[in-house]
Amino acid sequence: MASVACIGECMVELRQAQGGQSAGHSSGQGGGLYSRGFGGDTLNTAVYLARLEVKVDYLTALGDDALSDEMIAAWTAEGVGTRRVARLPGKLPGLYMIQLDAKGERQFFHWRDSAAARQLMNLPETDDLLNSLMSYDVVYLSAITLSIYDAAGRERLFAAIKRARLLGTRFVFDTNFRARGWPDRDVAREVFAATFAAADIVLTSTEDLLALYPGESHEQLMARIPTPELVFRLAEPVSLLRFPGATHEVRAEPMTKPVVDTTAAGDSFAAAYIAARLAGSDPVEAAQAGHRLASLVICYSGAIIPGYAMPPKKRHRPATSRQATK
**Tell me, what CATH number does 260's domain have?**
3.40.1190.20
Q: Maximum distance among all alpha carbons in the chain?
A: 56
Residue ranges of the chain whose pLDDT lies below 70: 17-32, 100-106, 314-326
pLDDT score at 46: 98
Distance CA 206, CA 208 (A): 5
**118 belongs to a structural domain:** no
Distance CA 177, CA 116 (A): 21
Looking at residue 167, the DSSP 8-state letter turns out to be: T
In the Cβ-directed half-sphere of 318, how many Cα atoms lie within 13 Å?
A: 1
**253 belongs to a structural domain:** yes
**180 belongs to a structural domain:** yes
Residue among 238, 181, 233 at smallest CA distance from 208: 233
Tell me the catalytic residues: 267
The rounded percent of the chain whose pLDDT value lies above 70 is 89
pLDDT score at 321: 46
**221 belongs to a structural domain:** yes
Strands 238-243 and 11-16, bridge-based pairing: unpaired
Distance CA 269, CA 267 (A): 5
What is the three-class DSSP state of 306? coil
Question: Is 259:232 a contact under the CB 8 Å cutoff?
Answer: no
User: What does the CA dihedral 275, 279, 284, 287 come to, rounded to 10 degrees?
Assistant: -10
**187 belongs to a structural domain:** yes
Number of folded domains in the chain?
Answer: 1
314 is in which domain, residue-wise? Answer: 3-9+42-60+123-325
What distances in angstroms separate CA 108 from CA 14, 147, 178, 180, one per listed residue? 10, 17, 11, 10
Confidence (pTM):
0.89
**210 belongs to a structural domain:** yes
pLDDT score at 326: 54
**104 belongs to a structural domain:** no
Distance CA 192, CA 204 (A): 11
**100 belongs to a structural domain:** no
